[in-house]
């Protein structure tokens, strides 16, 4: 069973010093993929062209092996950003693969990836040699107007739950994101509940918050808030349901937030 780094939060959302690890059940382990199987067959290969990656049933995560340079475009010279193996919270740096550029042999020469940085929806290109690819069969959708979260496994709906969403003053951002880290609060009975999924999304309002105001899906000690628009932008889920989702949603899980 793999060891996965977990960021530790106190009740005020501050990161506690020193990483801890969580032993995940093998039932929820992410299956590694030697390559992105969604690429076209060789008979249809078009080298140098961007091909989309992923389906409603399976997505792909790219986990940084040691260091990775990300560029605005394939073949770029000046890096857009540089990433280490572990992020600032000592969690494995993870991207979401949304496209691939193939060479003449139909092997990936670049991955187009979503990035965990501002502005929301930021994408770039990384060399396949810099990352390890993992298949992800979970997917989350959030409907802000209905205040409802749906969790899918291999394209099948597993559960739907009411949630609390951002208030009018601190709205939840809309867009396509992904789970980029998994968090364990110091106090399981505090404001974040027993666990949280950190997303690649950031608040459009709380730019001065720690680490830029990241958005997450987490539990809560305010059960009354479920079904209401009262949060600072994060998605609050009933604690028992959150624990189920936390266990079944690996890093790289796509998260689509609708108005």
- Specify whether the CB–CB gap between 181 and 63 falls below 8 A: no
In the structure, how many helices (H) and strands (E) does the chain have? 1, 20
Q: Exactly one of 14, 44, 51, 234 is catalytic; which is it?
A: 234
State the Cα–Cα distance between residues 126 and 240, nearest whole angstrom.
Answer: 38
14 is a catalytic site residue? no
Return the residue matching tokens 């890093």: 251
Which residues are CB-neighbours of 163 under 8 A, at least 6 positions away? 142, 147, 148, 149, 226, 227, 235, 236, 237
Q: Exactly one of 14, 44, 51, 218 is catalytic; which is it?
A: 218
Report the C-alpha dihedral over residues 126, 77, 39, 181, rounded to 10 degrees.
20
234 is a catalytic site residue? yes
Strand 3-9 and strand 175-185: the pairing is parallel
Active centre residues (catalytic): 218, 234
């Amino acid at each position: 069973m793999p060891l996965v780094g977990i960021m530790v939060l106190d009740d005020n959302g501050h990161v506690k010093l020193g990483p801890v690890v969580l032993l995940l059940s093998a039932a929820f382990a992410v299956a590694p993929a030697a390559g992105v199987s969604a690429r076209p067959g060789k008979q249809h290969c078009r080298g140098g062209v961007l091909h989309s990656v992923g389906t409603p049933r399976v997505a792909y995560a790219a986990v940084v092996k040691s260091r990775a340079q990300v560029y605005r475009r394939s073949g770029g010279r000046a890096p857009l950003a540089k990433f280490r193996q572990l992020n600032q919270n000592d969690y494995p740096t993870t991207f979401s693969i949304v496209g691939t550029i193939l060479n003449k042999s139909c092997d990936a020469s670049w991955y187009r990836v979503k990035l965990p940085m501002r502005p929301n929806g930021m994408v770039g290109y990384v060399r396949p040699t810099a990352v390890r690819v993992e298949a992800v069969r979970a997917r989350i959708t959030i409907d802000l107007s209905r205040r409802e979260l749906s969790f899918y496994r291999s394209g099948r709906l597993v559960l739907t739950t009411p949630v609390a969403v951002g208030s009018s003053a601190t709205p939840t951002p809309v867009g396509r994101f992904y789970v980029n880290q998994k968090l364990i609060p110091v106090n399981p009975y505090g404001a974040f509940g027993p666990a949280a999924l950190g997303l690649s999304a950031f608040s459009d309002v709380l730019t001065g918050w720690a680490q830029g105001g990241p958005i997450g899906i987490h539990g809560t000690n305010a059960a009354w808030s479920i079904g209401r628009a009262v949060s600072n932008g994060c998605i609050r889920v009933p604690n028992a349901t959150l624990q189920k989702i936390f266990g079944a949603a690996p890093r790289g899980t796509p998260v689509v937030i609708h108005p």
